[in-house]
Amino acid sequence: MDILMESIVRVTNLIKQYGSLSAVNNICFEVKEDEIVSLLGPNGAGKTTIIQMLLTLVSPTSGHIEIFGRALKERREELLSMMNFTAPYSVLPYNLSTKEALKVYALLYGIRNYRERIGFLIDEFNLGWLASKKVGQLSTGEQMRVGIAKAFVNNPKLLLLDEPTASLDPAIARELRAKILKLVRETGGAILWTSHNMREIEQVSDRIIFLSRGEIVADDSPNNLKNRFGQEDLEEIFISINREPPSRPS
Amino acid sequence: MNFLHVFGIFYRNVTLIRRSVPKLFALFGFITVELFLWGFITLWVRTIGPGDARLDFALLILSAFIFWSMFELSQRSFSVSFLEEVWSRNVINIFASPIKLSELVMGFALVGVVQTLLAFLYITPIAFALFALNIWDMGLYIIPFFMNVLICGWGIGVVAIGLVVRFGPSADIMAFFIPFLLLPFSAVYYPVSVFPSLLQRITFILPTRHIFEGMRRAITEGVIPHDSIIWATTLNVIFVALSFLFLHWMLRLARNRGYLSRLVQD
């Protein structure tokens, strides 16, 4: 039972096939409590497809996804209420103000004391001066910041971040990364993080899952990966894997 | 059912509508212009043809116009509530949230009820003041007819959403085309008897045909059209259930084939 509780995400033999194209090919991985796991790989490696399967936006062709020890397929609403996500391809409603958009999502995630929660998020993410501005009038970076605040609206135990700092300048990206880590550490949740920013990935990850052509080609801590591949940094590993994917780990 | 989820959808749409002049115009403007169009036609009709028939005909046309407008509005506000999420690229956030499909549909339906009721309460006094149409002459029979146009509008709205989920944002035109497609076959402005016999049989399955046929009998014959109300209600219940199954099917297909993420990319 303890083992079940520890595992926040457990993916078993997950396959996603679009006709003859194999987007995700028989992958297995786990994310444990308090763990930050990054999915890393070139474009088309299957990172976003995995995130979207965890969010029930895409149905697996076969395989099994368990979150908090329960089958996602059978407990969709219950499990999604304990998760949240942000991604650059999914913006908040541009015709609502920041505060209104956060209220909509607080309601959709069933938060009864939404006023308090929104107040907390506005303070925590320094959104006071953006609160009454329409989301569509915000810069891309500001929209990402609001998107990250939205991802915390339900105090999630599992956070899926698909390139969360993609449009941010380095200073704001660093500040937001620190904020994300602080909030997640406080709640004892886990994060599944994708990014093309190798420095970011190295900084935040307890473990990195390298993907190539829908398959897991490496799954280890940043330091162990560097040792295993004999490289100084993740970028070199990324490039070598992209050039010639190694055989799958046993 | 989680009413916070339903309220979230309702709040999102009402917040948007109440401060948007173009959206308020879409709610009250079209119907006002159309009322003038049909109102002037009925003023002209009242000057031709024999005695009482003129008045009946004018009354029929205007009543039919008002109920058809309510049907269109119910359907349009339902569909546009969903299309707003697609147009603002927010739809992924909605489908990744813990909201159930039934709660989403309930939220859209609630937005439709409020908009349709507001438009009805706005247009009926104007029709009375300018064109002497007192729709309330129908008495309490107005309620089942109103409810049926509302529910039928939701059913079409659900089908339109299913088509957008399946075929992408470019299918949004269907949300506006389907009611237009139904108009000639729903016997809105003329009786079913003008249809060829085969078409009369085919159109029997349309709830709208029974709504408008029944409404015409209530006005011209002064009888309670029980059979029309029962047929319209029964067909509506079946139609809404089928439309819901259709949306379920389209969503399953979209999840299997990855169409949901395409909704924010097209």
pLDDT tens-digit map of A38-79: 999 888 889 999 999 999 999 999 999 999 999 999 999 999
Contact check, Cβ <8 Å, A57/B255: yes
pLDDT higher than 90, residue A26? yes
The reported pLDDT for the residue numbered B140 is 78
pLDDT higher than 90, residue B106? yes
Would you call B160 exposed, middle or buried from its count of C-beta atoms within 10 A (0-12, 13-18, 19+)? buried
Amino acid occupying residue B136: W
pLDDT higher than 80, residue A4? no
CATH label, A35-60+78-243, candidates 3.90.930.12, 3.90.1170.50, 3.40.50.300, 3.90.230.10: 3.40.50.300
* Helix B51-87 / helix B173-182 crossing angle, nearest 10 deg: 160
**Contact status of A236 with chain B (Cβ, < 8 Å):** no
Question: How high does pLDDT run on average in chain B?
Answer: 89
Match 């029309």 to its residue by tokens: B228
Size of interface A-B (CB pairs under 8 A): 100
> With bands split at pLDDT 50, 70 and 90, how would you rate the model's confidence at A2?
very low
The reported pLDDT for the residue numbered B216 is 86
d(CA A73, CA A56): 8
The domains of chain A are located at 35-60+78-243
Q: Give one DSSP letter per residue of chain A, joined into a string.
A: -HHHHHEEEEEEEEEEEETTEEEEEEEEEEEETT-EEEEE-STTSSHHHHHHHHTTSS--SEEEEEETTEETTTSHHHHHTTEEEEBTTBPPPTTSBHHHHHHHHHHHTT-TTHHHHHHHHHHHTT-GGGTTSBGGGS-HHHHHHHHHHHHTTT--SEEEEESTTTTS-HHHHHHHHHHHHHHHHHHT-EEEEE-S-HHHHHHH-SEEEEEETTEEEEEE-HHHHHHHHT-SSHHHHHHHHHHSPPPPP-
**Contact status of A15 with chain B (Cβ, < 8 Å):** no
B7, closest residue in chain A (CA to CA): A107
* Gyration radius from chain B CA atoms: 19
Per-residue pLDDT tens digits for A165-207: 887 888 888 888 888 998 888 888 899 999 888 888 888 999 9
A134, closest residue in chain B (CA to CA): B16
Q: Give the mean model confidence (pLDDT) for residues B113-133.
A: 90
CA-CA distances (angstroms) from residue A26 to A11, A248, B113, B152, B184?
10, 11, 47, 45, 53
pLDDT higher than 60, residue A245? no
Note which residues in 88-107 of chain B have CB less than 8 A from chain A: 88-90, 92-100
CB proximity list for A30: less than 8 A, separation 6 or greater: A7, A9, A10, A11
Q: Which residues of A touch B15 (CB under 8 A)?
A: 96, 100
**Contact status of A68 with chain B (Cβ, < 8 Å):** no
CB B246, CB B169: distance < 8 Å: no
The reported pLDDT for the residue numbered B169 is 86
d(CA B135, CA B53): 18
